[in-house]
Amino acid sequence: MKRIIIFFNIFLISFSIKAQEQVMASARDALKSGDAPKLVAQLNEPIELNLIDQKNNFDRAQAEIILKDFFDKNPVQSFEFDHQTTSRGGLRFAIGTYKTQRGQYRVHLLIKETDGQYRIDMIDIVEH
């Protein structure tokens, strides 16, 4: 019986990690291409969005408008995650660099589980 419980726990942990990695990969691809709708598809609602001078909780529709405006004004040259980690509580954090012709931005993402699904709960984009 203990083996079954251990196997089940390992299965749940590996499923959780895979789900988090899928959200991160989709977010990375969206940031690399400046694709606001693709990024918004990974967001929790409400989303805590800290974007240079706009800091608040927004619904997905508002977040998409704000992110699209940012991407339009700051076309991406490249984006890469510099660091990713998972806390003991299961929260996933990532820090990346968003490069444009005008400069660089530091991007922080927080992923957490809500109603059985992993979603981006916070995006913080600041000038680097």
Residue range(s) defining the domain that contains residue 34: 2-127
pLDDT at 91: 83
Mean pLDDT of 26-32: 96
Mean pLDDT (the chain) is: 87
Q: Which amino acid is at 122?
A: M
Higher local confidence (pLDDT), 17 or 76: 76
**pLDDT(48) > 90:** yes
What are the tens digits of pLDDT across the range 87-122? 877 788 999 999 999 999 999 999 988 888 889 999
Q: What is the CATH number of the domain that holds 78?
A: 3.10.450.50
For the whole prediction, is pTM greater than 0.75? Answer: yes
Domain count, the chain: 1
What are the tens digits of pLDDT across the range 63-94? 999 999 999 999 999 999 999 988 877 788 99
pLDDT at 8: 46
* Alpha-carbon gap, residue 64 to 58, rounded angstroms: 9
pLDDT at 106: 97
